Amino acid sequence: MEILLNEYKNIASVDVDTYQKIEIENKTSLITEYDIRNALSATEIFDAEREAYDIYRIYGRIEYLSLLNRLSLTYKDLAAFFTPEILNIKDIFNSFTFYLLKAGTGYTSITGSSIEFVRYFEVIATSDDFELYNAGFTKNLYNDQIYAFNFNRDFDVTTYTDDFGFPATELYLYAKYKPGANGINQPETMSGTSWGTTGNPVKIPIYNTLINVGDRIYGDLIEYSKSLFLQEQLSPQTYYIRTPYKNSSNVNTYLQWKYNPIIPFRLKYFDSGLSQANTGTTIYEQEISIPYYATSVDNGNFVWREILPQGYIDPETNLGVDYPFVNKRRYLFSAITLDVVPDLDNITTRNAFAEIKFKDPSSLNFKPNNLDNIGKPCQ
């Protein structure tokens, strides 16, 4: 800032020094003491923040194990199922469509049982949200490519509950096979398991229809105990694939394969111990500890199981999860084995595999000439 002399302010002004008097007082004041020492625990702050955010980013890897992997798209005979191809092949990319599910609303009660139910699932993400690609420098012991996957958006599970009021402790990858054609102009077909209302499993057709967010998927058979606040799977959903071909007599036949299409992602675990309280007789501190998902039994009695905190492993059951937590997101990695195996309970398939013979059975009795060379590098 530049100080302007008086003579430049007015022609009649005289340059003089200007002084500003400052009064200095000497007065005693009371000093208020504060505790400026505050021991912060980074671990406690991290744990509190992680428990406050129930948002997940899901990714992982898939190992696809099946004779159908790398099978020719135009297979015609039984030998083709044992002859991996390089080009024009059936692989995970053109054989499956992937979705993400949560436990949905609606159950089918099994007649004559008060604890058995067929569970439904709800689609919360489609293949548009799913990315699948070859994992770099990664193959299995059969020299087959291992794949990496990623859902390209986050999932806030805070509001997810099922018809029994259970909060989401799992999400599910739904691998839906896409039936294809072959070299004999007889397309592949699919079926799934239905328990109806009797609890007896039967096969029903599965069609290659468009699936959208919000659609329901017929699920598995579970047992639900209200008084124990417990759900357990009695039987998983199983899908069956029929792949037609011509046998050695040039007659149309098929092989049947099976796999489990609904694969769980574990979000969290319930405590093994059962908690209970009564709203009419318990003290206030216990009453407000009743979580929102507690089940009302009768006469004001509630039962529930506490959700284990992230990072805590129960020493008795060895259950618990400890996912990385960054930017208010829990990063859930899952290693999945997608195995589509021959259904040897099917008589046609069992007979076909029973006919497979070694070309040279005597080779099974071959012994090395020098036992000292066992385990050494090949020359």
Q: Phi-psi region for residue 318, left (φ > 0), alpha (ψ -120 to 50) or beta?
A: left
Contact 242, 189 (CB under 8 A): yes
* Contacting residues for 159 by C-beta, under 8 A, at least 6 apart: none
pLDDT digits (tens, 9 = 90+) for 332-366: 999 999 999 999 999 999 999 998 865 555 555 55
pLDDT at 369: 60
Q: Which residues pair with 253 in a beta bridge?
A: 245
pLDDT at 376: 64
Measured distance CA(28)–CA(31) in Å, rounded: 9
- Sorted by where each begins, the domain ranges of the chain are 43-271+315-356, 273-306
pLDDT digits (tens, 9 = 90+) for 242-269: 999 999 899 999 999 999 999 999 999 9
Buried b (16+ CB within 10 A) or exposed e, 67-77: bbbbbbeebee
pLDDT at 260: 98
Measured distance CA(341)–CA(116) in Å, rounded: 28
Contact 309, 321 (CB under 8 A): no
Buried b (16+ CB within 10 A) or exposed e, 199-220: beeeeeebeeeebeeeeebbbb
Measured distance CA(355)–CA(159) in Å, rounded: 54
Grade residue 8 by pLDDT with cuts at 50, 70 and 90.
Answer: low
Grade residue 271 by pLDDT with cuts at 50, 70 and 90.
Answer: very high
Measured distance CA(301)–CA(283) in Å, rounded: 13
Q: Which residues pair with 161 in a beta bridge?
A: 167
Buried b (16+ CB within 10 A) or exposed e, 272-286: eeebebeeeebeeee
pLDDT at 30: 74
Closest residue by Cα to residue 158 from 226, 59, 56: 56
DSSP one-letter string for 57-121: EEEEEEEEEETTTTEETT--BGGGGG---SSSEE-HHHHEEEEEEEEEEEEEEPTT-SSEEEEEE
Q: What is the mean pLDDT of residues 226-248?
A: 96
pLDDT at 36: 60
Q: Which sign does the torsion angle of CA 24, 27, 31, 32 carry?
A: negative
Grade residue 141 by pLDDT with cuts at 50, 70 and 90.
Answer: confident
pLDDT digits (tens, 9 = 90+) for 180-222: 999 898 999 999 999 999 999 999 999 989 999 999 999 999 9
pLDDT at 241: 98
Residue 367: pLDDT over 80: no
* Contacting residues for 307 by C-beta, under 8 A, at least 6 apart: 167, 169, 268, 269, 270, 271, 291
End-to-end CA distance of the chain: 89
| Alpha-carbon distances, residue 64 vs 186, 277, 339 (angstroms) | 25, 47, 6
Count other Cβ atoms within 10 Å, centred on residue 13: 11
Most confident by average pLDDT, 4-8, 44-48, 151-155: 151-155
pLDDT at 143: 86
